[in-house]
């Protein structure tokens, strides 16, 4: 039986642990650092997700058969390269490929150079020049910080004043630190967002089930961007014809472009898309599973995730015949009061057992820890309540039924996760 180490401690990593635990080949699971929910299925380690040296030494000492990297920061820091130097098997892209997510400027220039459809943009390191350009272009307009910002470094601005304020926050107040040393000012695309993920082994690309995220904190897509307040799969907007187009115009050119640069892309390639007049335009790339999109996608996956990841590492994806459950899945994120701004921690969570016992419901933990006998909040996004059902309407209903039995002081969540899917289905 194989030993597997999952790096990370959020909802995505709980979903990965949950799915990997179902593999007949996996005997022992570790997670670093993990969370309260993950601890029921894996041994949690007191190692931070970006402590590459300690993670590598643990994998060597314990003779880990496969390390699965969940979050973006260790990928951008080169964890895959460090593991490979020690002949340790690891799932994820090398540092040079992970720049697609680690630097928005690199990603935009890469798309331009490889003919991948995206919005017009300019890059600025000077606040004065950026402000001047924004006032010249007008609104709506999008401001993005260049570096990693936990999903919060994008400002979709409906007025020039909003855009100037975003520039001040990023470049003067430096709320994202060095991630805001450069900003991208981008045209605002009009359409419908969708998330598209594929697994790559450097040659073969295998599309995963479609999904759609909800980035804004409040219902009807109002308020600031977050790491994601919920997701559903499949996304009706992405049909078979559009899937083929996305693969041909976006995903394959990425893998081929990375290969031309001297690196092989292995792992998950995620394209955040805007569907404009039926055509895909790329908003951003990630180099790992989305969070919370991973939760409904993995709930629907009818295939051994461990086998899939090994096929990616070994270059054998062409032999994989993926299968998906016909049932749609919906994930509702329950967050702490104040998120995505400052929030309190240590709130006792009630109702977890009752929700987890509901049929076709899985409660994935994100920001949770044990405090004596209680599970308490420890992050902005706390839980991802995920439900499967026969149709989208029933999946939404079941997810919210589970949400309704969970509570803590100051809990907040959107009430309209999946509503867009119902509109598409009814049409």
Q: What is the CA radius of gyration of the chain?
A: 20
Of 172, 187, 202, the residue at which a domain comes to its end is: 187
- The reply to whether 85 and 7 lie within a common domain is yes
Q: What mean pLDDT comes out for the span 315-319? A: 96
Structural domain includes residue 105: no
Helix (H, G, I), strand (E, B) or coil at 293: coil
Structural domain includes residue 112: no
Residue that has been written with the tokens 């919005």 in this structure: 119
- The reply to whether 138 and 33 lie within a common domain is no
What Å distances lie between residue 367 and 1, 153, 343, 345, CA to CA? 30, 20, 12, 9
Q: Please state which of the ranges 17-21, 47-51, 153-157, 287-291 shows the lowest mean pLDDT.
A: 153-157
> Residue 348 belongs to a domain with what CATH number?
3.90.600.10
Residue 426 has pLDDT above 70, yes or no: no
Q: What mean pLDDT comes out for the span 354-374? A: 96
Structural domain includes residue 101: no
- The reply to whether 135 and 227 lie within a common domain is no
Q: What mean pLDDT comes out for the span 344-363? A: 97
- The reply to whether 262 and 359 lie within a common domain is no
Q: Using a pLDDT cut of 90, give the percent of the chain over it.
A: 93
Structural domain includes residue 212: yes
- The reply to whether 19 and 53 lie within a common domain is yes
Residue 372 has pLDDT above 70, yes or no: yes
Residue 66 has pLDDT above 60, yes or no: yes
Structural domain includes residue 82: yes
pLDDT of residue 427: 44
- The reply to whether 178 and 202 lie within a common domain is no
Structural domain includes residue 98: no
pLDDT tier, 423 (very low <50, low <70, confident <90, very high otherwise)? confident
Domain range enclosing 7: 2-92
- The reply to whether 209 and 288 lie within a common domain is yes
> Residue 227 belongs to a domain with what CATH number?
3.30.470.20
- The reply to whether 194 and 180 lie within a common domain is no
- The reply to whether 195 and 312 lie within a common domain is yes
How many domains, in total, are found in the chain? 4
The vertex-202 CA angle with 197 and 208, nearest 5°, equals 20
- The reply to whether 129 and 163 lie within a common domain is yes
* Residue ranges of E strands in 259-367: 266-276, 279-286, 329-335, 361-365
Of 136, 153, 187, the residue at which a domain comes to its end is: 187
pLDDT in tens, 118-145: 999 999 999 999 999 999 999 999 999 9
Q: What mean pLDDT comes out for the span 153-180? A: 92
Structural domain includes residue 107: no
Q: What mean pLDDT comes out for the span 24-44? A: 97
Cis peptide before 234 (omega within 30 of 0): yes
Residue 176 has pLDDT above 50, yes or no: yes
Average pLDDT, the chain: 95
Residue 344 has pLDDT above 70, yes or no: yes
Residues with Cβ within 8 Å of 421's Cβ and at least 6 positions away in sequence, in order, are 212, 232, 235, 236, 328, 392
d(CA 76, CA 62): 25
Q: What mean pLDDT comes out for the span 82-101? A: 97
- The reply to whether 315 and 334 lie within a common domain is no
Phi, psi of 320 (to 5 degrees): -90, 130
pLDDT in tens, 230-271: 999 999 999 999 999 999 999 999 999 999 999 999 999 999
Structural domain includes residue 130: yes
Please list the residues that pair with 157 across neighbouring strands. Answer: 141
Of 132, 154, 187, the residue at which a domain comes to its end is: 187
Q: Please state which of the ranges 46-60, 87-101, 215-229 shows the lowest mean pLDDT.
A: 215-229
pLDDT tier, 424 (very low <50, low <70, confident <90, very high otherwise)? low
pLDDT tier, 420 (very low <50, low <70, confident <90, very high otherwise)? confident
> Residue 169 belongs to a domain with what CATH number?
3.30.1490.20
Residue 427 CA from chain centroid, whole number: 29
- The reply to whether 314 and 366 lie within a common domain is no
d(CA 423, CA 133): 38
């Amino acid at each position: 039986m194989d030993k597997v180490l999952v790096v990370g401690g959020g909802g995505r990593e709980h979903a990965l642990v949950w799915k990997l635990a179902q593999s007949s080949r996996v005997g022992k699971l570790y997670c670093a650092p993990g969370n309260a929910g993950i601890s029921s299925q894996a041994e949690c380690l007191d190692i931070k997700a970006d402590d590459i040296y300690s993670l590598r030494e643990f994998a060597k000492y314990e003779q880990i058969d496969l390390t699965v990297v969940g979050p973006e920061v260790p990928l951008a820091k080169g964890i895959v390269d460090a593991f490979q130097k020690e002949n340790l098997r690891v799932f994820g892209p090398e540092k040079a490929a992970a720049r697609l997510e680690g630097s928005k400027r690199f990603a935009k220039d890469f798309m331009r150079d490889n003919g991948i459809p995206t919005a017009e943009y300019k890059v600025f390191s000077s606040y004065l020049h950026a402000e001047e350009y924004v006032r010249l272009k007008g609104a709506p307009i999008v401001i993005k910080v260049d570096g990693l910002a936990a999903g919060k470094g994008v400002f979709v601005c409906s007025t020039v004043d909003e855009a100037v304020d975003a520039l001040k926050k990023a470049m003067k107040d430096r709320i994202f630190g060095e991630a805001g040393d450069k900003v991208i000012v981008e045209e605002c695309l009009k359409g419908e967002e969708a998330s598209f993920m594929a697994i790559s082994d450097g040659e073969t690309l295998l599309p995963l089930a479609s999904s759609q995220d909800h980035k804004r904190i409040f219902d009807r897509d109002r308020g600031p961007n977050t790491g994601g307040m919920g997701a559903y799969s499949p996304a009706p907007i992405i049909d078979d014809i559009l899937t083929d187009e996305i693969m041909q115009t976006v995903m394959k050119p990425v893998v081929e472009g990375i290969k031309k640069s001297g690196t092989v892309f292995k792992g998950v390639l995620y394209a955040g898309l805007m569907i404009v007049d039926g055509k895909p335009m790329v908003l951003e790339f990630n180099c790992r599973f989305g969070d919370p999109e991973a939760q409904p996608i993995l709930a629907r996956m009818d295939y051994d995730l461990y086998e899939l990841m090994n096929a990616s590492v070994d270059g054998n994806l062409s032999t994989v015949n993926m299968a998906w459950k016909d049932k749609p899945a919906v994930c509702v994120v329950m967050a702490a009061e104040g998120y995505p701004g400052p929030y309190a921690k240590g709130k006792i969570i009630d109702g977890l057992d009752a929700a987890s016992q509901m049929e076709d419901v899985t409660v994935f933990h994100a920001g949770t820890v044990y405090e004596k006998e209680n599970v308490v909040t420890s992050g902005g996004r706390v839980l991802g309540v995920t439900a499967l059902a026969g149709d989208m309407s029933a999946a939404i209903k079941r997810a919210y039924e589970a949400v309704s039995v969970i509570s803590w002081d100051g809990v907040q969540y959107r009430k309209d996760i999946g509503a867009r899917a119902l509109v598409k289905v009814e049409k």
